[in-house]
Amino acid sequence: MGTGRNFPYYPAGAEMVGIDISPAMLARARRRRQALGTAVDLREMDVIGLDFPRAHFDAAVATFLFCVLPAEVQVPALRELGRVVRPDGTIRMLEYVRPEGKVRRAVSRLWEPWMAWAFGAGFDRRTEEHIPEAGLDLVESRFVVEDLLKLVSARVPGVAR
């Protein structure tokens, strides 16, 4: 959930649960929730150990989550999201990726040490490549901000797991 900056973009009336491993981020999200009057249940939780039953949610959204998860946690986190989203449900991820253009690619290499230090983030997580290994189906992968931000959508297979 981070700081809750996405609250205004969620559908009105949707039942939402937001998680974050950081109490500080959740505190900021609670303040934002109160200021906006957004109805979202905020919980401290790690994405690789979600305290929800199987197929509990219709969908999941992860914004800039996978770019901060190390390679060894990518598949377990995707599997866990797949576990809590109902069959045929969607998981959408917005992520920083290594730019394709030469200039942005070079700039991203200069930024990367600072991004890693400040946020634990990297441009090279390759999350969409882990989707099949996690038992999910890749639905869409497209750039939404030039060649730096990518929207990746996965589907939980229709057969209960």
User: pLDDT digit string (tens) for 10-31?
Assistant: 888 888 999 999 999 999 999 9
CA–CA separation, 138 and 9 (whole Å):
23
What CATH number corresponds to the domain at position 105? 3.40.50.150
Q: Determine the structural domain holding residue 123 and report its residue range.
A: 58-155
DSSP for residue 17:
E
41: three-class secondary structure by DSSP? strand
Do 31 and 62 lie in one domain? The reply is: no
Q: What is the number of domains present in the chain? A: 2
Handedness of CA 64, 72, 152, 85 (dihedral sign): negative
Task: Determine the pLDDT at residue 116.
Answer: 66
50 CB-near residues (< 8 Å, 6+ apart): 19, 80, 81, 83, 84
One-letter amino acid of 142: R
Do 7 and 79 lie in one domain? The reply is: no
Do 4 and 82 lie in one domain? The reply is: no
CB 95 within 8 A of CB 61: no
Task: Determine the pLDDT at residue 161.
Answer: 47
pLDDT band at 127 (very low <50, low <70, confident <90, very high): confident
CB 125 within 8 A of CB 119: no
pLDDT tens readout for residues 34-93: 988 888 999 999 999 999 999 999 999 999 898 888 889 999 999 999 999 999 999 999
Of residues 51 and 118, the one with the higher pLDDT is 51
